[in-house]
Amino acid sequence: MKKILSIALALALICSLGACGGKNSTPSTPSDTPPSDSGGTPSASGSGYSGGSYKLMASSHIAESELGSIFMNEFCDLVEERSDGKITFDRFFASQIANQAESAEGLKNGTIDIAINDWCSMSSINGFKKGDITAMTYLYKDYDHVRAFFHSDEYNQMNEELIDQVGIRALSTGSAGFRQVGTKNAPINSYEDFAGLRIRCPDIAIYVNTFQALDCATTIVANSEVYTALQTGIVDAVENPVAGIYLTSWYEQLNYINETNHIHCDIAMFINEDKYQELDAEAQALLNECAQEAAENNITLAEEYNSDFRSKCEEAGLVYNTFDLAPVIDIMKEAVWPAYFEAVEDGEELVNAILAMAE
């Protein structure tokens, strides 16, 4: 695997030096084509784009088959097509250049141009506490509720604050689905069954705190290492949307999917703000347009995938288990919501605004 990744990175380097069809040899910098002064909006076909030429780096910490990477690929494809190939991307997947935490750091310090990540990584890694709102336990009712927030003034205000405080911009936000708990040894039939459960969590504080509230033995494991951690018994459980559990092959080491829907898992298309400001106005408009379109398609696909891959998990022999969630909901909310209100000045107001969007 290391040899394959080395070859892939070497090919990417060759391409960046001009051996791939005459692409700009200087990453992330405009060509000699002057920026357009027309102020026009790029046409859907790309034939109307008259902005500058740019090469950008786009990074995903997950496999190319997963929803976040599909989202990123569609965004890149749309931009390349509608710019008539004047804006291109070097694309990296499966933590080739950065894992999830490194991606959040790279977006902030400018070593990564564009990356898919989640808003709570902006909190856990970059200190933007308001970003945890996307991972608040049992806040979002369904996908339409999620869409309503991502199209709201409250969301736009949060994005402006991220730009000002961290120097990162969300071009758009999509979805990986609602998260469930997968277990190896036994189903979860009561909130009491969480006690002592060795569950993998990502390196994101709100996820860890959520499961520690249920007395789980939480263990932080990078996405690319989870399969081995399950196989070797380092952890006995994971939490992720069903599509993610299947597409990563984690399901091969599990016997049960326990329906919890505890957190909606967002996927955002982030860009370093300095890099965004280096683009001319027409290029910025095109990135915004394509990111929004790709996000809408992504949320629709997330709904379909998580339904389809539940069936695939059951066909593979996993038991899809349900149980009384009321005590779990109470415990998780009591642990997470007050902490958010304390950490974020207008946190309670924001939560109430989002709750009202479901009505």
Domains of the chain: 2-27+53-175+265-306 (3.40.190.170), 179-263+308-356 (3.40.190.170)
pLDDT at 19 > cutoff 60: no
93 pLDDT exceeds 50?
Answer: yes
pLDDT for residue 10 is more than 60: no
Give, to the nearest 10 degrees, the angle between helix 67-82 and helix 281-315: 150
- For the cut 70, the answer to whether the pLDDT of residue 20 exceeds it is no
| Residue for token pair 């070593």 | 111
CA 198/CA 60 separation, integer angstroms: 27
| Per-residue DSSP letter, 50 | -
Angle of the 347-356 helix axis to the 326-343 helix axis, nearest 10: 130
Q: Is the pLDDT of residue 75 over 50?
A: yes
Percent of the chain with pLDDT over 90: 85
Q: Is 308 exposed, middle or buried (0-12, 13-18, 19+ CB in 10 A)?
A: middle
- The residues facing 54 across adjacent strands are 87
- What b/e sequence results for 6-21 when a residue is b if at least 16 CB atoms lie within 10 Å of its CB, and e otherwise? eeeeeebeebbeeeee
Averaged pLDDT of the chain: 89
Exposed / middle / buried, residue 266 (Cβ in 10 Å: 0-12, 13-18, 19+)? buried
For the record, the structure tokens of 66 come out as 């997963």
213-252 confidence digits (pLDDT tens): 999 999 999 888 999 999 999 999 999 999 999 999 999 9
Is residue 136 over pLDDT 60? yes
Share of the chain above pLDDT 70, in %: 87
Are the C-beta atoms of 192 and 211 separated by less than 8 Å? no
User: CA quadruple 319, 323, 327, 329: dihedral positive or negative?
Assistant: positive
Residue 140 Cα distances to 264, 265, 352, 356, 357, angstroms: 7, 10, 11, 11, 9
Say what the pLDDT of residue 47 is. 55
Is 130's pLDDT higher than 60?
yes
Q: What is the pLDDT of residue 223?
A: 86
pLDDT value at residue 18? 38
Confidence check: pLDDT of 15 > 80? no
pLDDT in tens, 287-343: 999 999 999 999 999 999 999 999 999 999 999 999 999 999 999 999 999 999 999
Chain centre to alpha carbon of residue 283: 23
Residue reference for tokens 């991220």: 162
What's the rounded mean pLDDT across residues 253-269? 98
More confident residue, 6 or 316: 316
User: Is 60 exceeded by the pLDDT of residue 34?
Assistant: no
Task: Please report the pLDDT score of residue 197 as a whole number.
Answer: 98
